[in-house]
Amino acid sequence: MARLKTKWNQADRKRTPKEIAGVIGFNLWVIAGESCLFLENEGFETQTHSQRLDVIAEFIAFGAHVADRMVFDEMTATEREQFINALGQHLADTLQSNREDASEPGEYRKDFINLLNDRMGEYSDCGYTEENGPSFSMRCIAGKHVQTVMGDKDNKWIPDYVIDSEIPKLLLALKRVFKGQSPSLSEADFAPPPIPESGVWGEE
């Protein structure tokens, strides 16, 4: 398991939604990269670094939506808007840097933000409970999207592996990160019942 950044140096200072978003965004990349690595270790290979980033992007989009569900009841509407916009921009900036390293200079942020908004719309139609977290239907959608970007080779088992192995690890890691944000967030289980609105990310 990769080392996650879960604690602040000055633990008693309340953090802004933007600061919390930066920590969540950093850790989402770590978690998603590890999920992609585990897939490859199980024999579900990517062919290029660009394809690997496609896989990571799907895990990140799923994790970002779950993060939005987690803060829904822990922040005011204004704070949540600041958080989710800052999270989207942080993730898009990181994706831009990684795409340029993998391919060539270009504008990659817009497509990634569109992906985040598309997945937010899909996942928002799915349930989320305190006891179980994302519903099975949400997990299935995530598994199918990872399967699609992984390509045709030996991929029929990918959704099952993502659902049974990688999503539980992602959720556990993300919950650890959120719990480390106190006192900026409460020590609750971060599982509010309301469904967030779709399409919340935009480009600056």
Task: Tell me if 140 is assigned to some domain.
Answer: yes
- Among candidates 141, 136, 143, which has minimal Cα distance to 118? 141
Does the structure show a pLDDT above 90 at 88?
yes
- For the chain, give the percent of residues with pLDDT over 70: 79
Query: What's the domain range around 23?
Result: 17-179
- Is residue 112 a part of any domain in this protein? yes
Residue 2 belongs to some domain of the structure: no
Residue 127 lies in a domain: yes
What confidence tier does 199 reach under pLDDT thresholds 50, 70, 90?
Answer: very low
pLDDT of residue 179: 79
DSSP 9-75: SSTTSPPPHHHHHHHHHHHHHHHHHHHHHHHHHTT---SSHHHHHHHHHHHHHHHHHHHHHHHTTTS
List, for residues 156-177, the tens digit of each pLDDT value.
Answer: 889 999 999 999 999 998 888 8
β pairing state of 128-129 and 133-134: antiparallel
- Flag whether 132 is in a domain: yes
The pLDDT value recorded for residue 182 is 52
The length of the chain in residues reads: 204
49 has pLDDT over 60: yes
Give percent of the chain with pLDDT exceeding 90: 50
Instruction: Give the span between the Cα atoms of 198 and 145, in whole angstroms.
Output: 18
pLDDT, tens digit (0-9, with 9 covering 90-100), for 8-44: 444 555 678 888 899 899 999 999 999 999 999 988 8
pLDDT for 181 = 65
| 61 belongs to a structural domain | yes
Domain assignment of residue 192, yes or no: no
Confidence (pLDDT) at 4: 40
Closest CA to 67 of 116, 2, 14, 15: 116
